Structure formats: structure tokens, C-alpha cells
Amino acid sequence: MLQPIITTLGIIDSDPMICEGFGVIMHKLSSNFKSIFMANNYEDLKVQSKTDIELPFIMLLTLSNPIDNCLESLNWLQETNPDINVVGFSNEYPEGSQYIMAKAGCVGFLYKNDNLEVYQKAIQDIVDHGAFVNSRSNLIKVLRTPFTDEKPTVKDLILIKLVCTHKTYIDIGLILCISPKTVEDHVFKLCDKLNAHNRHGLMCMAFQRKWVA
């Protein structure tokens, strides 16, 4: 019998009560969702990451004031763990903050008072598509681009489709018979060619233009 795939989640929030309650909420959503990581701020994130604690597939990042505190965590995650899907998590988003966070690599936004059904769908959308399906168009609008009109080549599409499956660079390298570093370099050049900000922006572009189903 096949074992269910467990989607791991984490949260960065300065309120210890919210961090503790996060695990309870995830358990209510699905037995396939597991809370494995909690940090209170950027400094705590760096300390925690140096331990043997596993980093999650999806990280909820609470918008802090000033936003620079939040961006430190977001930028660090993008630089050191680009496969983590970072989701904004807040009571409210001041004007311009979603643009700034999406530009830095955030794949979507949740509100703390969203109901469990919204959380469930948002998480499942990220697992299936790499972004929120019901807000992908909004996410694309606030990314750094507009994207270029340049068309990907057949070889480009092979790589794009593999990137959209959320395989690691190691897994993609094994499939394409190249090194993980070469895969990373190809993705970087492809993002530059298509004017996508990062891997997540490339995925949004692929779904928007129906290069992948």
C-alpha cells in the first residue's frame, strides 16, 4: 500500500502562541499536512536552520513592521533554500507590501482570519501548481515583470515542465544527465531570458501561458 505524501509546513511569527497554534490548525486540515518548523524572527530562523531540524516545503512568513524585518527572512530563504514556497501570513497587508514580497519570491498571501477551507485549498494549490490557483493572476501582476513575449525553445519547455513538478535540482539533473549546478545555471539563464524574477515566477508564467497543464 502506498504511503500518503506528507506536505511539511513551517511558520515564522514573533507571537509564540500563534506558532504553537499553527501545528493544531495544520492537523485539523489534513493528516497529510505536518507542521515541522517554527521560528520567531530572522535571527531565530538562522539559528534553527543550523540545527538538524528539517526545513519545510511551505513556510508561512508573518508580515512584520517594518517590512524590512520580514524581507530579511524572505531573502535569506530564497538565497539558501529556493525550493521552499514562502507564503505571506498577516492580519493585513499595507499598500505595496504584497508587491514587495512577491518581487522577493513570495508565492501567495493568506490572512490570519481566513477559514480552514481557504488554508486547505491554498496549500493544496501550492503542492499541485506552485502558486494559489485562485490568485495566480493577482500574484503575476505584482511580480517584478511583465514577462517577456519571447517563446521558450523545445529544450526550454522540457526544463520548465520539470521545474513545475517541484523536483529538486538533483532530481532534474538525474533525469537530464547533467549536474545539479548545471540545472541551476540553466534555470537562472531561462529566468533571465523570459524576464521571470525567480523559479516561482517562471512557474507562474508557465501556468499562465499554458506551457504546462
What CATH number has the domain bearing residue 202? 1.10.10
**Euclidean distance between CA atoms 105 and 187, whole angstroms:** 15
**Euclidean distance between CA atoms 61 and 71, whole angstroms:** 9
Same domain, 57 and 158: no
Q: Is the model more confident about 137 or about 85? A: 85
Whether 2 is in a domain gets the answer no
**Euclidean distance between CA atoms 143 and 105, whole angstroms:** 8
Whether the per-residue pLDDT at 135 is higher than 70: the answer is no
Whether 187 is in a domain gets the answer yes
Whether the per-residue pLDDT at 176 is higher than 90: the answer is yes
Q: Residues of the chain with pLDDT > 70: what percent? A: 88
Whether the per-residue pLDDT at 143 is higher than 90: the answer is no
**The predicted structure's pLDDT at residue 198:** 75
**Euclidean distance between CA atoms 76 and 176, whole angstroms:** 29
Query: Which of the 8 DSSP states describes residue 176?
Result: H
**Euclidean distance between CA atoms 18 and 78, whole angstroms:** 24
Residue 137 confidence class, pLDDT cut points 50, 70, 90: very low
Residue 144 confidence class, pLDDT cut points 50, 70, 90: very low
**The predicted structure's pLDDT at residue 169:** 87
Whether the per-residue pLDDT at 95 is higher than 80: the answer is no
Same domain, 137 and 171: no
- Its pTM surpasses 0.85: no
Query: Which of the 8 DSSP states describes residue 90?
Result: E
Please state the domain count of the chain.
2
Contact indicator for 212, 206 with CB cutoff of 8 Å: yes
**The predicted structure's pLDDT at residue 130:** 73
Residue 1 confidence class, pLDDT cut points 50, 70, 90: very low
Whether the per-residue pLDDT at 102 is higher than 80: the answer is no
Same domain, 62 and 113: yes
Whether the per-residue pLDDT at 74 is higher than 80: the answer is yes
Whether the per-residue pLDDT at 193 is higher than 80: the answer is yes
Domain that holds residue 172: 154-208
Whether the per-residue pLDDT at 178 is higher than 90: the answer is yes
Same domain, 138 and 177: no
Whether the per-residue pLDDT at 202 is higher than 90: the answer is no
**Euclidean distance between CA atoms 102 and 99, whole angstroms:** 5
- Long-range contacts of 75-78, Cβ-Cβ distance < 8 Å, separation of 24 or more: 75/104, 76/42, 76/45, 76/46, 77/45, 77/105, 78/104, 78/105, 78/198
Residue 113 confidence class, pLDDT cut points 50, 70, 90: confident
Classify the C-alpha dihedral 41-45-51-57 as positive or negative: positive
Same domain, 13 and 61: yes
**Mean of the per-residue pLDDT values for the chain?**
82
Same domain, 113 and 198: no
